Amino acid sequence: MSKFWDMVDAETKAKAEDFIKRIKSKKIVKRVLPNVSMDYPLDKAFKSFEALTESKEQREIMNSHYTGADGEK
Amino acid sequence: MEKNKGRDYQYLLEDFSEEKIRDRAAFLIKTARLLIKNLEVENHILINNELMEQAVIDYFADIKRLKDFHGMDKVDPAKIAAYMAHWVLKRKPLQIKVSVSEETYEKMPFLLDINEWFASYILISMLLDMRNRLVTDLETLRRWNSFNLTLIYFLIYRSVSPQALELATVAVTITPPYKLITEGGD
């Protein structure tokens, strides 16, 4: 037992011990991110990257970031 | 006591496989070279291999923590694209050569943001197949351009986290099931 535990009153000790019991009983669970486990196709991603770097439209988007010529203003 | 005990990255090779980490490093180097070539900036930009390697290590270390916490076997494409783009952005492996002239910067203002563009291209191309356009209507394309411009602005000027990028990647892949309230603003 820790030095601090000796300073704790009985009611608080009961609450803290109950907390440990609930962790052990697996009643407290994580909320996890949605996810789909899959093998990632790096070859397709590379071809997609290639298409993006060769795209005239993407180049226009890049230029419009610096000129403000995006038609949105 | 062994030097660097518990601080090495051997566990990444064991968890993900040598092949996967090797392929990812090659992917980043190959895509960076392609970007440099297609933007015609070979004379102005170089790749720092150590920073590129660090981006790959940081990515896998981050994904390992994520997988362990959430009990995942493998992560989905949105997370792969978001975390990869984040670590590219964080490590900034593309470097401007010292000899770039003022005229060149005027002609190619994107040089200053080359890592942000690289991260943006990584994010988009790891998520969407840019060879296959599904929609051609002008309104959707206008929104796509708007997304692109918002994304690059975010990468350059905002506080970027992999979680924020993940949310953006998930959002960009949905077709809204409801009509927008309005296009206007205050």
State whether B76 and A35 contact (CB < 8 Å).
Answer: yes
More confident residue, B4 or B140: B140
Q: With 50 as the cut, is the pLDDT of residue B93 above it?
A: yes
Distance between A73 CA and the closest CA of chain B, angstroms: 11
Q: Helix B114-127 and helix B77-91: axis angle, to 10°?
A: 170
Question: How far apart (Å, rounded) are the C-alpha atoms in residues A1 and B10?
Answer: 37
| A8 three-class SS | coil
Give me the residue from B77, B125, B149 closest to A61, CB to CB. B149
Contacts of B129 in chain A (CB under 8 A): 44, 47-48
CB contact under 8 A, A42 and B23: yes
On the question of pLDDT at B125 being above 50, the answer is yes
Please calculate the CA angle B8-B10-B13 and round it to the nearest 5 degrees.
145
**% of chain B exceeding 90 in pLDDT:** 86
Q: Do A46 and B31 touch (CB under 8 A)?
A: yes
Average pLDDT of the segment spanning B67-73: 93
For residues B116-126, give the mean pLDDT.
98
Cβ <8 Å between A45 and B117: no
Domain ranges of chain B: 10-172
The pTM (predicted TM-score) of the whole model is 0.89
Lowest-pLDDT choice from A46-50, B4-8, B105-109, B131-135? B4-8
User: Between these two residues, A70 and A50, which has the higher pLDDT value?
Assistant: A50
Mean predicted confidence (pLDDT) in B122-130: 97
Q: Is 70 exceeded by the pLDDT of residue A73?
A: no
**Set of chain A residues whose Cβ sits within 8 Å of the Cβ of B72:** 32, 35, 37
Contact B121 A49 (CB under 8 A): yes
